[in-house]
Amino acid sequence: RSQQRYNGGEDSTSHRLRFPDNGASIQLKGNMWRSLPLGTDVTIDVGTNIDFDFTLTDLRDVHALCFTVDGYWDSRNTRCLVTANTQSWSKYNIFPKAQVGETRHYSIPVGLFFTGTFNYISFILDNDTSCRSCGDSTWSNVELSQVERPKLSVQVYGATVELDS
């Protein structure tokens, strides 16, 4: 699989993404920031959900899944979902956080957090300690889907008003 360094200043080139389970999973071991091309532009709108399983084996600074327009870190065009961390980072922290030894399934209405068109998915295992090979997490069954969001009904002076989400 074609992978590129997501953040040259943070990434350790000696580590490579691993693809266990016949490619159904992506495993990060050691400090790495990597991007994979989606193969086409993907638009995330208010009706977009993301589902995935996240397994945390060795907790480090930040474990995140991101979307970007060019495959490189840029705070203006990158949107990340943080599922485990010891360091404060990103405004899209997902709760509950995964715990060491746990596989947690997430179903996130990602389009309610951010919208845009992206062509790379990126994975971060940030580890700024002296043990750059420490840290281990796996992302599995990653799937984007479209759902219809329910309308919010509000009573205003006896009349029902429906608002789009």
CA distance 44 to 127: 29
pLDDT of residue 12: 59
- The pTM of this model reads 0.82
Predicted confidence (pLDDT) at residue 4 exceeds the cutoff of 60: no
In this prediction, residue 58 carries a pLDDT of: 96
State pLDDT tens for residues 123-137: 999 988 788 889 999
Q: Which two tokens stand for residue 120?
A: 């790379």
CB atoms within 10 A of CB 82: 22
Distances (CA, A) of 118 to 44, 50, 61, 91, 129: 8, 14, 25, 18, 31
Alpha-carbon distances, residue 90 vs 15, 55, 79, 126 (angstroms): 24, 20, 8, 13
Predicted confidence (pLDDT) per residue in 28-64, tens digit? 999 888 889 999 999 999 999 999 999 999 999 999 9
